[in-house]
Amino acid sequence: MSAHQEPLSSDDGRRAMLQSIVALVLAVFGAKACSIMRFDEKSRELVFEAVAGEGEDTLVGRRIPASTGIAGWSLASEEPISIDDVLSHPRFDREVAEQTGYVPTKLTVFPLLYGEESLGVLSVLDAGATAHFFVSATACTPLAYQWFFNCLILTNETNCALVIASVDPTNSGNYFVIASASGGSTTSAVATLTVNLIPPGITGVAANVDGSFNLNLFGTPGYTYILEATTNLFPPGNWLSVATNTLGTNGVWQFTDTSATNFPQQFYRLKLAP
């Protein structure tokens, strides 16, 4: 991502591109919904510009006050915010959520920045797909079940079905279940769950008055990423490491590049550490 960008013009091509972005984010995060809201400075409202998943047929064009909820908080603070239990968070506006037709339990919001201007927010609702495992067994006496993950007992998982909500890469591995009755027991075949990493990305670059840049970055929680920069995109390119960080549970990273003051322009990329 370049630290010097031009805002997108407001046309059909722009709208189509925004729609493709939310559709991609929806798929990558395994979310229930994803949206981009534009900040209307005159009315002080957030306007739904593109929506994928829940609400995609009804929300585009709808407006909400920019001062409300988690989205408004992220817009004002210019910081990404990730909350695992929004229903109990004091800043969550349930009334506004109900008006959109979908009330999430998890929410991540990224501010969309251009220089010192907040253009809007990108919201990801209930990220993380759900994995379902099911076994069928018959016996003359009542059956008991015990699920295992990578040969370790899964505590309290003693039903014929195993449900893993909001899966992440730590859930990748082999699952099986032992079904037992008074006459004996049997072990199921092994089922392998593969969870792909979230591709790293940069959601915003904002210039400071001293010439440094603030960057909002994201990736898979618990994994280490390298932020690299170059002043020239022409081959062969000389990408230098600027910073390395292991992401926390919310998967977001805010970084200020003070070295940017030494260059007339700077391009950035984020990649997974080897």
**pLDDT tens-digit series, residues 47-79:** 999 999 999 999 999 999 998 899 999 999 888
| Ordered structural domains, the chain, with CATH | 1-127 (3.30.450.40), 131-193 (2.60.40.10)
pLDDT at 210: 86
pTM: 0.58
Distances (CA, A) of 22 to 28, 153, 214, 232: 10, 38, 23, 29
Rounded distance, CA 76 to CA 67, Å? 8
Three-state DSSP at 196 gives coil
Residue 253 has a CB neighbour count (10 Å cut-off) of 21
The more confidently predicted of residues 208 and 7 is 208
**pLDDT average, residue stretch 221-228:** 91
Rounded distance, CA 46 to CA 68, Å? 9
pLDDT, mean over the chain: 87
pLDDT at 10: 52
Span between the terminal Cα atoms of the chain, in Å: 21
Distances (CA, A) of 119 to 44, 70, 174, 242: 12, 16, 44, 26
Given CA atoms 247, 249, 251, 253 in this order, what sign does their dihedral have?
A: negative
257 residue type, one letter? D
pLDDT in tens, 155-166: 999 999 998 877
pLDDT at 4: 45
pLDDT at 123: 94
Cβ atoms of 230 and 267 closer than 8 Å = yes
For residue 189, is pLDDT > 80? yes
pLDDT in tens, 20-48: 888 888 877 778 899 999 999 999 999 99
Weakest-pLDDT range from 68-72, 217-221, 238-242: 217-221
195: CB partners within 8 A, 6+ apart:
167, 168, 169, 171, 172
134: CB partners within 8 A, 6+ apart:
160, 161, 162
Weakest-pLDDT range from 8-17, 33-42, 45-54, 120-129: 8-17
Q: Which of 69, 80, 173, 91 is nearest to 127 (CA)?
A: 80
Cβ atoms of 40 and 46 closer than 8 Å = yes
